[in-house]
Structure 1
Amino acid sequence: MPGIDECLLEVMRLPGARGAAVVDWTSGLALGTIGDSPNGDHEATAAETAEVARMAAEQPAFALPALDPSGDRAVTGRGTAPSVEDVIVTTGGGYHILRFVETAFDSSVFLHLWLDRAEGNLALARIRLGEMAERLVLA
């Protein structure tokens, strides 16, 4: 079970990875960073991507209602984990993948990967980020 630093090192092994961070989307603070930042400032990038993550996670249009144990009807007010798994922003030169991390407490963390469009594989990166998000240990 990797911690933040080990997770970020593993993310940077992905083909085309330019930079990565673990970010708290409620505060906009970077819990860990590695590699380059799109604007040269990891903290500013963390705050900016947190706004995108928060916007996606809090929109009712993207929410899937939780079902009661019988599976018959939606239950409201359960848990704080966003139903959104990830957000992908495509730019001319790359992809920004924001992968939400479910935790035992408040689930307010996501992995941000900045991936080069020419060298990276979006599908592979999305799958690997999902695997890493499941194994990430926040202490």
Structure 2
Amino acid sequence: MANIHDSLAKLMTIDGAIGVALVDSGSGMALGTLGTGLDLELAAAGNTEVVRAKLKTIAALGLNESIDDILITLSSQYHIIRPLAAAPEVFIYIALDKARGNLALARLSTREVEKQLEL
């Protein structure tokens, strides 16, 4: 089991990683952040709204589903949001430079870190 800082540090080793955060979607506040070049506190709050909207839509559709991850593709970045299976109100957020990052590897690494994270 890994702590928050170690988990975020591992995610920052992914090629193209710009910033990472562990976010409490109940409050929209970051439990931990790492990286530069991006306001991760603002990203945490904004992506909380994305997660809430998706959960509301899933409920409205009557789907018995949970979110594995959410991918947002920008012109120069990928943003991955991954709720924790053990604590769905908490999610991992990672921003990657599209030119340097490997999306498949980032999704795999995020899933592995999520399994090892100890809150």
Q: TM-score, normalised by structure 2?
A: 0.91
Distance 1:14 1:64 in 2: 33
Q: 1:136 to 1:11 in 2, by over 3 A?
A: same
Query: For residue 33 of structure 2, what is the aligned residue in structure 1?
Result: 33
Distance 2:28 2:52 in 1: 9
Deviation at 1:27, TM superposition (A): 1.0
Which residue, out of 104, 114, 132, partners 2:95?
114
Q: 1:115 to 1:62 in 2, by over 3 A?
A: farther
Identity of aligned residues (%): 41
The answer for unaligned runs of 5 or more in structure 2 is none
The answer for unaligned runs of 5 or more in structure 1 is 66-81
Give matches, 1:55-66, under 5 Å.
55-60=53-58, 64-65=63-64
Contact 2:5 2:32 in 1 (8 A): yes
Distance 1:11 1:62 in 2: 33
Q: 1:63 to 1:98 in 2, by over 3 A?
A: farther
Q: CA RMSD in A?
A: 1.7
DSSP 3-state at the match of 1:56: helix
Distance 1:31 1:50 in 2: 13
Distance 2:108 2:114 in 1: 10
Which protein is richer in helix relative to its size?
2
| Cα deviations by residue, 1:42-92 (Å, 9 ceiling, x for unpaired) | 221110011111212332267752xxxxxxxxxxxxxxxx60110000001
Distance 2:35 2:91 in 1: 17
Which one has a bigger Cα radius of gyration? 1
Question: Runs (4+) of structure 1 moved beyond 4 Å?
Answer: 61-64
DSSP 3-state at the match of 2:78: strand
DSSP 3-state at the match of 1:59: helix
Q: What is the aligned residue count?
A: 118
Distance 1:58 1:4 in 2: 28
Which residue, out of 15, 20, 43, partners 1:45?
43
Distance 1:23 1:133 in 2: 12
